[in-house]
Amino acid sequence: MGFTQSFFAQRFGITGRDLESYLSEALSAGGDYADLYFEYLATSSIGMDEGIVKSAAEGVELGVGVRVLAGERTGYAYSDDLSPEKIRKAARVAARIAHGPSSIVRTGFEEARKHNLYPMVQAPHETGLAERVALVRRADEAARAYDSRIFQVQAQYADSIREVLVASSDGRLSYDRQPMARMGVAALAREDANGVPQHGYSGGGGRVTLDFFLNEKTPEHFAREAARQAIVQLDAVDAPAGETTVVLGPGWPGILLHEAVGHGLEADFNRKGVSAFTGRVGQQVASPLCTVIDDGTIGSRRGSLNVDDEGMPTQRNVLIENGVLRGYLQDQLSARLMKSASTGSGRREGYQHIPMPRMTNTYMLAGESAPEDIIRSVQKGIYCATFGGGQVDITSGNFVFSATESYLIEDGKITRPVRGASLIGNGPEALKYVSMVGNDLMLDEGIGVCGKEGQSVPVGVGIPTVKIDRMTVGGTAA
């Protein structure tokens, strides 16, 4: 498919000549670079609560963002109206960042190389509503059927289609149609009507369509998992407090990597010298057992993109190799200023936002240990199977992530479930204590949302079973 067949050309009649003229307007007061980001986002969601479908919603958003770079400076403006006058006006506002004679826009665009990582599908409102209702209804029923102690269930299905078009003053042209779908199920359990309720949650999806939930990960899969977690919590004891050995299960616990190292390796923080990892490329920052990758090219994953939000193809970037720090995640601006190349990591929440270096899917490569040997090697510690979220202070490097399902390990065996607890560590130090890495790498189910400077983007994580000899657990059982 060529540009003339693409969404914005077809629906709004945008031509290459239009794009050149908007970019010229953006560089009319000088500047090194300008780009345009057109976005059309159609969303839909359905929610079930207390056994009935209570909510159904759709939305349509449209707009264009104009950016001008001049040295370290960024000028930005946007419009939710795609008329030529409004786009030109936004371009003139963005241009105010520069002061000088106009810069030249390259004539003629070259279409950027891009991956083919997800299905080209219909917009949500163009496909049937009845199938969506069936999904949440199945989830509700399966969670209730899992155990008679489940007494409240909420199920949600949401999907979206994002059409993007990026054009830059150095002649790059890129467009993409990006699907996203997600199911989430929350369940409450209690022993009897007077019992203390416990909560369980499970969800997943990716750059997939409704079919994924019919054929691969069914509503029943997520529903039973949410119900199971709530039931497990009925018997949970207080989590320990203080330093102990921690074993992370495979999959979603990979959020450790996202918080402990991923954010600290985003180039903007390192260019400014404010990350705990600044100036550490080539140094040992983790145990030699650790190789950490950020890969935006895995098919259908939540964090994957054919092209990033600056129109560059995404890549598989090695962040840490055998414990040694290899490189940063670069966007256009930081790459220009650091005399480096974009790593396809420029992302933004939408047309109202300035792009930044961000993660895609961040995971650790599998090691050689059998997961059962890892658990057997621990005298006393905790095993964390599922996490809620996390946060990092990139300057000190301190990070926190919160376990929602974990167990005590006693004499090499997983024993009692423990209540939710935070795990605390320091980014450049924590992974040095990794002493065993499992052969069971798993990626998460696809529910991650990463926040940075007020912008949310979907991400993925993954990790094999990993043993960390020392980490601080923030429970209450001192």
Partner 1 sequence: MSELLEIASAATRRALELGATDAECTLAEGEEFSAGVRMRELENLKQAGSRGAGIRVLVGRNTGSSRTSDLTPDGIERMVRAALELAKITNDDPFAGLPEPEDLGAASGELKLYDDSVASLETDWKIEQARKAEETALAADARIENSEGASFDSHVGSRAFANSRGFSGEYRTSSCGLSVVPVAKSNGSMERDYWHSSARRVASLESAEAVGRRAAERALRRLNPRKPPTQKAPVIFEPRTARALLGELLDAVNGGAIYRHSSFLTGKLGEKVASEILTVVDDGTIPGLFGSSPFDDEGVASRRTMVIEKGVLRSYLLNTYSARKLGLKTTGNASRGLSGNAGVGPGNFFIEAGQIGEEAMIAGVRNGLYVTELIGATANTVTGDYSSGAAGLWIENGELAYAVSEISIAGNLKQMLMDVTQIGSDLEFRSSIASPTILIQEMTISGAGS
**Considering only residues 345-374, where is the footprint of partner 1 by CB under 8 A?**
352, 354
The verdict on 426 binding partner 1 (CB under 8 A) reads: yes
Q: How far is the CB of 114 from partner 1 (least distance, A)?
A: 27
Q: How far is the CB of 298 from partner 1 (least distance, A)?
A: 26
- Please tell me the distance from the alpha carbon of residue 379 to that of residue 190, in angstroms, as a whole number: 32
Choose which of 114, 133, 313, 412 interacts with partner 1 (CB under 8 A): 133
DSSP per position, 201-256: EEEEEES--THHHHHTS-HHHHHHHHHHHHHHHTT-BPPBEEEEEEEEPSSGGGHH
- Please tell me the distance from the alpha carbon of residue 400 to that of residue 382, in angstroms, as a whole number: 16
The verdict on 469 binding partner 1 (CB under 8 A) reads: no
Return the amino acid letter for 287. S
**Considering only residues 259-278, where is the footprint of partner 1 by CB under 8 A?**
259, 272-274, 276
Distance of alpha carbon 351 from the chain centroid: 18
Q: Which is nearer to partner 1, 324 or 424 (CB)?
A: 424
3-state secondary structure of 386: strand
Q: Which is nearer to partner 1, 96 or 106 (CB)?
A: 96
3-state secondary structure of 278: coil
Choose which of 419, 435, 439, 455 interacts with partner 1 (CB under 8 A): 419
**Considering only residues 190-209, where is the footprint of partner 1 by CB under 8 A?**
196-199
Distance of alpha carbon 209 from the chain centroid: 18
The verdict on 284 binding partner 1 (CB under 8 A) reads: no
Q: What number of chain residues touch partner 1 (CB under 8 A)? A: 81
Choose which of 14, 19, 23, 77 interacts with partner 1 (CB under 8 A): 77
Tokens linked to 308? 């990033």
Cβ atoms of residues 73 and 63 within 8 Å: no
The verdict on 450 binding partner 1 (CB under 8 A) reads: no
Cβ atoms of residues 471 and 425 within 8 Å: yes
Choose which of 6, 25, 26, 75 interacts with partner 1 (CB under 8 A): 75
| Range in contact with partner 1 (rule: CB under 8 A) among 78-86, 112-120, 318-326, 358-366 | 78-86
The verdict on 144 binding partner 1 (CB under 8 A) reads: no
The verdict on 49 binding partner 1 (CB under 8 A) reads: yes
108, burial (CB in 10 Å: exposed 0-12, middle 13-18, buried 19+): exposed
| Range in contact with partner 1 (rule: CB under 8 A) among 207-215, 318-326, 394-402, 436-444 | 394-402
Q: Which is nearer to partner 1, 12 or 321 (CB)?
A: 12
DSSP 265: G
Cβ-Cβ contacts under 8 Å for 86 (sequence gap 6 or more): 79
The verdict on 410 binding partner 1 (CB under 8 A) reads: no
CA dihedral 238, 239, 244, 250 (to 10 degrees): 140
- Please tell me the distance from the alpha carbon of residue 385 to that of residue 371, in angstroms, as a whole number: 13
Q: Which is nearer to partner 1, 104 or 478 (CB)?
A: 478
The verdict on 73 binding partner 1 (CB under 8 A) reads: yes
The verdict on 240 binding partner 1 (CB under 8 A) reads: yes
**Considering only residues 288-347, where is the footprint of partner 1 by CB under 8 A?**
none
